[in-house]
Structure 1
């Protein structure tokens, strides 16, 4: 039987494995940072109306530039943005891939600070961009002086920052981003996939866009909007960045149905985001409970918590699974990550944790 090794794939892809979290049928799934609450019925009805309006024209290509959707997203973000400063694609992964296609590629480098989102180096590899993995502080924070030193050392073409960071949940001080912008000669991409879960008063990097044409802030509707199945990511940046990614985007990359459903979700953002505070309560409940039991956890501004395990994390992960609770082994020795779920799901997790930890 033919295997992948028998095919003439690129040498740098040999031995690699696809990205993916286990998809198992268990009672409590808290491993992929999905929003725990289902889409409310009024939002479903709004989506259904907008989708119905598109069905008779499916023989036609969708709006190639998704102008109406980008206009809605710009209004949601605020900060005086217009549609020309916003771009959308099938999830923030595709958005970031397009940025790497436009500004990375063979002979160019991208720098990130781990542990962080594991797709960033994979997207770099897929576009032929050499990945440089620097490290965060032992407490998973990132100091401005340390970040600037790494930029001066490696002189990358792109810098990836993640705030709140995945898998640790830590948010960046805007002063760190400002320092990185001052030191980097290339593009600076701030991944804000979990920003809606951040604590009150946390500033978005979007506030730094004026005067910084090399800054890009990526967002997603997969998390707080509960739109993971809809696959919609977007970024805010100088309009020139939008012009650049349109050189590499596939034609008609965003279907008419995706655009319609996403516009309905944005129009109903208040209803969709109404449960975010409940998720934050459960996140803080996990943190407080663990710290009360002497379990080390990382500070989190996201919808998940990274916690320390006394034993091998793979064995602990299996122990949770044996109790019907699926969490995430992110490959960080001695640590596991759990998504904050509903009150019932969180209780199930904490009950299992009391037995295991």
Structure 2
């Protein structure tokens, strides 16, 4: 049987592994930061009707520039944004890939601060962009000084700041974004995949005016509970949007995706009604694990990073055996747990409490 080593891969892909996370059909799945609450019935009905209308014209190509969806996204983000400043693709991963296709590539670099989203280096590999990995300070919180120093030293073509950061949950402050933008001449992406869960900070979209190299990435996968639809989007200067048109595939957003996402945005208040409860469950989970003696890092996202596990792989497997799936990311002594429903949170607290007691 042929293996990867038998194929004439590009040199920068040799020995690399694809992105992957377990997808076991377990009763409590808290490993990929989904919103585990179901979509409300009235929204499901409206989306189904929109999909039926879209299917009736599926013999034709969809709107190549998905104008209605971009208008809806601009209205959702507010702050005076227009459709010309919005872009979307099949998940924020594809949005970021298009940015790297347009502004990265051979001889160019992408910088980010680890630990962070594991797709960044993979997207760099896929676009033949060199990846610069700068370790985060102790405690994982970026500061204007640490970011300024790294960007001044490396002068990358593109930098990504993830806030709240995945997998640590660490919030991203406005001052750090401004320091980053002023520190180098490349494109600065602020990845706000988990922004809706942070109720203490303004979005970086408020900083777009007068900053043509600033890009703000978002997704409907998390707070909107729309992971299966695969809709990510980006706000930026209209010139950046024009650049992304140069590299996108023709008709890259299907008519069904456009219909589902546009309809969901019309129901934004209903779709986001679970966010407050998720924050409550996140804080409840954090308090319970802190009480057990674990170290819970500050989080502005819908998950927590928990340290203090003597055998994180053992805990991961014990929970898996009990039908609970969380994330083991290879960070020494740490595991990441998504905040689910009240019932799911109760179950994971009970299981970790029992396993911690048994091991003490």
The equivalent residue for 1:299 is 298
The equivalent residue for 1:254 is 253
Distance in 1 separating the partners of 2:50 and 2:159:
38
Matched, 1:333 2:332: yes
Matched, 1:65 2:82: no
What displacement does 1:322 show? Answer: 1.8
The equivalent residue for 2:317 is 318
**Is contact 1:155-1:185 (8 Å) kept?**
yes
What displacement does 1:254 show? Answer: 0.2
Please give the secondary structure, in 2, of the residue aligned with 1:274.
Answer: coil
Distance in 2 separating the partners of 1:56 and 1:29:
36
What displacement does 1:291 show? Answer: 1.8
For structure 2, the residue ranges without an aligned partner over 5 or more in a row are: none
Q: How high is the TM-score relative to the length of structure 2?
A: 0.97
What displacement does 1:109 show? Answer: 0.3
**Is contact 1:190-1:218 (8 Å) kept?**
yes
The equivalent residue for 2:225 is 226
What displacement does 1:310 show? Answer: 2.9
**Is contact 1:309-1:316 (8 Å) kept?**
no
Distance in 1 separating the partners of 2:184 and 2:261:
34
**Is contact 1:320-1:326 (8 Å) kept?**
yes
The equivalent residue for 1:153 is 153
The equivalent residue for 1:37 is 37
The equivalent residue for 1:282 is 281
The Cα offsets for residues 103-126 of structure 1, whole Å up to 9 and x where unpaired, read as 000000010001100001110110
Equivalence map 1:191-206=2 (5 Å): 191-199=191-199, 201-206=200-205
The equivalent residue for 2:238 is 239
Q: How high is the TM-score relative to the length of structure 1?
A: 0.98
The equivalent residue for 1:348 is 347
Answer with 9-18 or 74-83: which moved more.
9-18
What displacement does 1:332 show? Answer: 1.1
The equivalent residue for 2:211 is 212
Please give the secondary structure, in 2, of the residue aligned with 1:259.
Answer: helix
Aligned length: 356
Distance in 1 separating the partners of 2:293 and 2:3:
48
Please give the secondary structure, in 1, of the residue aligned with 2:37.
Answer: coil
What displacement does 1:2 show? Answer: 1.1
Distance in 2 separating the partners of 1:45 and 1:64:
26
**Is contact 1:70-1:86 (8 Å) kept?**
yes
Distance in 2 separating the partners of 1:139 and 1:152:
22
What is the RMSD of the two structures over their aligned residues, measured on CA atoms? 0.9
Matched, 1:137 2:137: yes
